[in-house]
A and B are shown apart, each in its own frame.
Chain A
Amino acid sequence: MANDAETGPGLTFPQDTFAKLTPRPYLLAHLKHKTPVRPNGRQQNEFRQPTINTGSLTHSNGSAVVRVGDTAVVCGVRGEILLASDIPHPPSDDLEEQDLVEELGLVVPNLELSTGCSPAHIPGNPPTSLAQSLSYRISAVLHDSHCINPDDLRINYTEPKTEDDLPDEPPKEVTKAYWTLYIDILCLALDGNAFDAALLAVTAALRDTTLPKAWWDPDRESILCSPVVSDSRSLRLSTMPVASSFAVFSTASHLKKREEAQSWILADADGFEEELCDETLTVVLNSGPSTGSGTTSILKIEKTGGTYIGKDVTDLCVRQASKRTSDIKTALGNR
């Protein structure tokens, strides 16, 4: 294939057949043009535009459906009550407030891929390592970004004054229970880059979440909630993490000299491109009031699979991710 003097008559195929038979040369032929373009028509640094719909599920406290190209992800947030008396190891007093959510396990995200979203993910098997690692990565981002304020999840009770209390002392507030948020993410259709879409769906769903007003009833010794809509309050996210993933397509192989290899960075790889790329880079940027009025900071950079991406390339990707983050913020803000 490298020596391209025409040796004999060639075969003619329609585009789809060529893509199925020899995917690598197909992609390479596209990228080798003077102005490289990808088979799906996008530029190298072009992301797919997301479509976000929130609040469509009736049984969740918050929900979102996100479509990024042909990848579709639905996320539902459910709140349940964890009584403080049920916690086996109550948190110590010197635990930082922002670590409380992680310590008590109040946010439980799970990503389910075995929904028939692609021919490789048929139900009937336990979660693959891909699904498990995606769930864990989302959990890590949610905890490290401190986007959920533990105060929003507390259900407090003001203890009535007894005779033993001093008259000047303010009434004691005790946390009787916590809201636990079950974040269930289902992938309905997979065409590459599940992580970005899933994190976007989680963020959109959390912003849409409303929790009912809850109080401790001393007579029943349990928590009661109000079904009135006007009593409920929205969950406020203090920061907003947005992920941008990049894949590297490379012609490097152990049969060739290293200098002869060519590589291209592809932003937001779709299913076809993801299969052909070994090296990936994910940049998670965090933005919001607590990071300093409207500025964005780097929360996480994850890179696996190869050695092409160095300092300069990472810098370039972070800039592209920053632009992507502001596009996403606009899309979320305009829902």
Chain B
Amino acid sequence: MAMLADRRRMNAPPGGTSPPVFASLPEAKLTKPIRTRNPDEHRKIFLRTGVVPSASGSAYYEISPSNTPRQTLVPSSSSLKITCTVHGPRPLPRNAAFSSNLLLTTHVKFAPFATRQRRGYVRDSSERDLGVHLETALRGVVIGDRWPKSGCEVVITVLEGEEDGWWADAEEGGKAGSWGMMNVLAGCITVASAAIADAGVDCVDLVSGGVAALTAERNGEGVLDPCPSEHDIKAACVVGYLQSRDEVTEMWMKGDAGSGSEALIDNAVKAAVLTRTVLAEAVKEATEMKIGKTSEAAVETTNTGKGKTKDIQMTG
């Protein structure tokens, strides 16, 4: 692939490299994976906050990989892994104009090894677009007017993304793409929400992301949390949903839904409700741990002479 030489990074050998092309050998039984879950069942999610102690808030989101052993060298489906750090609310630089609301900036970056095609280090338009979607989802839920003259950075790194379809189909020309991006966006919304809660920024509610799709196989029956390599997707929808207010802060729908668009939106909301239970659980656990630590410290400072958490006297 002909890459412009980036002066600040180590570059590919001159002459360019290309990704490996696999031959379809008879002993490699290449079968397209099929969905074994129910249509309204979500894959298992692992969500934990507080993974980066030096940031104000952080969270790690992972969809557990399937237990089937690898048949071929190229995996048939990926398991989403996203990490998010929140730095803020921090004061804006001196020369910035006055802002009476919190200025939220989002950065989304795929790691180079996140997708089947290796990505570069410079952000491309699809990553910026994800950043815009994420900002829309988060702006609605953050109470900005309590933080004037402040900025908050939400940084998302996607360690492993979802593919747009089964890899062996890729040679026969593309199907309508970007279904993988929708799953990534749903994950990003959930993990950013957890990280923002961990950072202690005021929010109206927890926003959770959910994806639903209409597939060709099921003729109009929707599926929740579609894995693009398992389905032939005709239309899909991602929502960022606030459960306590029954409102949608962000919605992205693509494809030919026809008359089923309302049902598709409802399915996506159902998926968001499922992820919200995981989100709420993780945030609750983290908060309980934090409260436990501060109450411990409060107790110990009252009985001085306990060693580590003793207050220090500074003189001179």
Binding site for B on A (CB under 8 A): 1, 3-4, 6-15, 18, 22, 25, 29, 56-60, 63, 70, 72, 74, 76-83, 86-88, 104-106, 108-110, 112, 115-119, 122-124, 126-127, 132, 135-136, 139, 180, 182, 184, 186, 188-191, 210, 212, 214, 217, 222-229, 232, 271
Residues of chain B contacted by A83 (CB below 8 angstroms)? 15, 18
Partner of A184, one of B22, B111, B315: B111
CA distance A271 to B22 in the complex (A): 45
Q: How many A-B residue pairs have CB under 8 A?
A: 217
Q: Given A7-B316, A118-B55, A226-B22, decide whether A57 and B309 contact each other with a Cβ distance below 8 A.
A: no
CA distance A172 to B113 in the complex (A): 37
By DSSP majority rule, is chain A's interface helix, strand, loop, or mixed? mixed
Q: Which residue of chain B has its CB nearest to the CB of A10?
A: B315
CA distance A88 to B311 in the complex (A): 67
B204 at the interface (CB under 8 A from A): no
B289 at the interface (CB under 8 A from A): no
Q: Is the CB of A106 within 8 A of B78?
A: no
A6 to chain B, nearest CB (A): 5
Q: Is the CB of A225 within 8 A of B23?
A: yes
Which of B23, B25, B58, B70 has the largest count of A CB atoms less than 10 A from its CB?
Answer: B23
Q: Is the CB of A14 within 8 A of B314?
A: no
Q: Is the CB of B153 within 8 A of A122?
A: yes
B176 at the interface (CB under 8 A from A): no
CA distance A89 to B159 in the complex (A): 36
Q: Is the CB of A223 within 8 A of B54?
A: no
Task: Fill in one digit per residue for B7-20: 1 if any A CB lies within 8 Å of its CB, else 0.
Answer: 01111111111111
Residues of chain B contacted by A79 (CB below 8 angstroms)? 20
Q: Could you list some 29 contacts between A and B, CB below 8 A?
A: A8-B315, A10-B314, A11-B315, A13-B311, A18-B314, A22-B314, A29-B312, A58-B65, A58-B160, A60-B113, A76-B112, A78-B118, A108-B10, A108-B11, A109-B10, A115-B155, A115-B157, A122-B87, A122-B107, A136-B10, A182-B112, A189-B52, A210-B73, A222-B21, A224-B21, A227-B28, A228-B27, A228-B28, A229-B73
Q: Given A10-B315, A118-B55, decide whether A105 and B13 contact each other with a Cβ distance below 8 A.
A: yes
CA distance A180 to B116 in the complex (A): 16
Q: Which residue of chain B has its CB nearest to the CB of A77?
A: B113
Partner of A81, one of B14, B18, B107, B314: B18
Residues of chain B contacted by A191 (CB below 8 angstroms)? 53-54
By DSSP majority rule, is chain B's interface helix, strand, loop, or mixed? loop
Residues of chain B contacted by A81 (CB below 8 angstroms)? 17-20
Q: Which residue of chain A has its CB nearest to the CB of B313?
A: A10
A213 to chain B, nearest CB (A): 9
B30 at the interface (CB under 8 A from A): yes
Q: Is the CB of A58 within 8 A of B314?
A: no
Q: Which of B33-75 contact A (CB under 8 A)?
A: 51-55, 58, 65, 70-75
Q: Is the CB of B78 within 8 A of A58?
A: yes
Residues of chain A contacted by B297 (CB below 8 angstroms)? 14
Which of A1, A117, A190 has the largest count of B CB atoms less than 10 A from its CB?
Answer: A117
CA distance A13 to B301 in the complex (A): 10
Partner of B113, one of A22, A116, A184: A184
B243 at the interface (CB under 8 A from A): no
B252 at the interface (CB under 8 A from A): no
